[in-house]
Amino acid sequence: MNTLCPDLQYTIEHPSSDGYLPFLDILIHPDKSTSVYRKPTHTNLYARHNSCAAPSTKDSVIRSLITRAYNLCSPQHLQPELQTVRSICISNGHPAPRVDRIMNQIHLKQTSSPTTMSARQFKCTCSPPSSLRFSLPYHHSLSKPLKKILTSYDIDVTFSSATTLRDTLTNVKSPTPPHLTPNAIYSIPCKDCPASYIGQTYRPILKRIKEHKASTNKHLSDSTLEFNNSAVAQHAIESNHTIAWSQTSVLTTTSSRYHLNLAEHAAIKIRNPICNRQLVGPNIHSLWNPLLPKLSNSMKSKPASLPLADTAPPARY
């Protein structure tokens, strides 16, 4: 098999002399039982208790290690692995009572009936979703009181790790070409007037713009069709104008679908594009209105560099 492609080479893992076989993070014993496998170079370093991260983030480290032990270990290897996890967590500064509490919670979850529902799970299933939801950088003294205040106003907030020096100085990923950018707010201008259309897409921009252009071409060939799929096509046909597809720009990109809706709402509400049929975004609470101008002004337009020709209007005699 390795002769088919020099760049793609497969290896085979043989058991050691004493019959042990590591596979990913599982160690298969000679009696076919399993336990957690750690490489000899593993340092047992995880997020420390005194690190500047949300308590839920630090607790999730403990939970993931304990849950992995239950999922991978055979019964005879479970308790030694749990003791190893406890020692590792304590060595990373986590208080022993906190580690023991989380271990007891997971033990009850693993051994209880599947139909048993905790008070927290019952609250999640019965409580309606919050009207607003967003993420903020974690701050050791401000995050807890801030979350308490926002929750009283039906605002669900989660906390993420702040930007580190490594994030600022290093960028190991190649940038995505503009025309392949997903989760973006885009603007399509008209070549013959100041009109423009602002929209959103969670797919690559090029794919969405091709759909707009195909709808426009379809209406150019059949003027009896209704303008259901594209407001851009409606403007091109009714105004007899040329759409400047090649001048499409990316206003901003987001990390989630909800943020995409908010960014589109801000861009449409403040910039008031002529081609848009509705001047509001989807499912955005009015509490965001004071922030819309700032959100819109923060958008830095950049060319999408689409390999598309402009659509000429139909000839009229």
In contact, 195 and 274? CB cutoff 8 Å: yes
Give Rg (Cα) of the chain.
28
CA distance 292 to 268: 10
- The pLDDT assigned to 316 comes to 47
Q: Is 209 exposed, middle or buried (0-12, 13-18, 19+ CB in 10 A)?
A: buried
- The pLDDT assigned to 279 comes to 65
The two three-digit tokens of residue 264, written as one number:
């589109």
The DSSP code sequence of 193-252 is SS-EEEEEESS-HHHHHHHHHHHHHHHHH-TTS---S-HHHHHHHHHT--B-GGG-EEEE
CA distance 208 to 196: 16
The DSSP code sequence of 114-137 is TT---HHHHHHHHSPPPSEEEEEE
**DSSP SS3 for 106:** helix
In contact, 131 and 285? CB cutoff 8 Å: yes
- The pLDDT assigned to 317 comes to 40
The length of the chain in residues reads: 317
CA distance 225 to 103: 64
The two three-digit tokens of residue 70, written as one number:
């239950």
- The pLDDT assigned to 77 comes to 94
- The pLDDT assigned to 237 comes to 86
The two three-digit tokens of residue 192, written as one number:
């013959």
- The pLDDT assigned to 129 comes to 60
Q: What pLDDT tens digit does each residue of the chain (317 aa) get? A: 788 888 888 888 888 888 899 988 999 999 999 999 999 999 999 989 988 888 888 999 999 999 999 999 999 999 999 999 999 999 999 999 999 999 999 999 988 866 555 555 555 555 566 557 778 888 888 888 988 888 888 888 888 877 777 777 777 777 888 888 889 999 999 999 999 999 999 999 999 999 988 888 887 777 667 766 788 888 888 888 999 998 999 999 987 777 888 899 889 988 889 888 876 556 677 778 888 899 888 898 888 888 777 655 554 44
CA distance 256 to 258: 6
Regarding pTM above 0.75, the answer is no
CA distance 96 to 111: 22
